[in-house]
Chains A and B, each alone.
Chain A
Amino acid sequence: GAVVSQHPSRVICKSGTSVKIECRSLDFQATTMFWYRQFPKQSLMLMATSNEGSKATYEQGVEKDKFLINHASLTLSTLTVTSAHPEDSSFYICSARRTSGSTDTQYFGPGTRLTVL
């Protein structure tokens, strides 16, 4: 089946630093990827839609200058958490849209655990 990877799986950083998380579709091209955030024992919350070759679209309440998204190729989207603070600590999950014929399917990555000290 289609595979989406994320790197790193875990990252710990100091407050004020920036962290980049990669999301790759390993065996298909994805013009659209999504970034979600999950707090402990809570549901996934959609942060933004990443579109290859164009600007990401952010959900209401998500700071685009804080969470920079770059979708530079058909297999890679990156999320950069800038000037991270402890409240940014969370589980970040990406997904990628695969189109096959008339069928669209969304495949999820395994997630990245960010801890900001």
Chain B
Amino acid sequence: GNSVTQMEGPVTLSEEAFLTINCTYTATGYPSLFWYVQYPGEGLQLLLKATKADDKGSNKGFEATYRKETTSFHLEKGSVQVSDSAVYFCALDRTTDSWGKLQFGAGTQVVVTP
């Protein structure tokens, strides 16, 4: 079946450091891949997505590239800010004929210190 594995947190960084959160997946077919972010006390928000191999999603300085050969979708940001402190979830669309059924990873908490 489908699954999403992402690195465990918490990940603690200093401001302006480089951030990478690894995400790998197993899936049948060609799922769309997503990164969601959850700030304290708020709902999950879509950060970026990619719908096919080699697509790069980007938003707010974050990037992730859909790598079919390594079944990965690692999230990166070159210079984090304190405001990036949040929990980040990698996810995939479970099926191609049923919109919105997401399979999530366990989430990675990121803490950015001044």
Contacts and interface: CB of A to CB of B under 8 A. Distances in A.
Contacts, number: 51
Interface in A1-46: 4, 32, 34, 36, 41-46
B34 to A, nearest CB: 9
Contacts of B89: 43-44
A46 B106 contact: no
A117 B42 CA distance: 26
Contacts of A109: 43
A46 B44 contact: no
Contact of B105 (A43, A46, A108): A43
A105 B104 contact: no
Interface of A: 4, 32, 34, 36, 41-46, 49, 93, 95, 97, 104-111
29 contacts: A32-B99, A32-B100, A36-B104, A41-B107, A42-B106, A43-B89, A43-B104, A43-B106, A44-B89, A44-B102, A44-B104, A46-B101, A46-B103, A49-B98, A49-B100, A49-B101, A93-B43, A93-B44, A97-B99, A97-B100, A104-B100, A105-B46, A106-B100, A106-B102, A108-B36, A108-B44, A109-B43, A110-B43, A111-B43
Interface of B: 4, 36, 41-46, 89, 94, 98-107
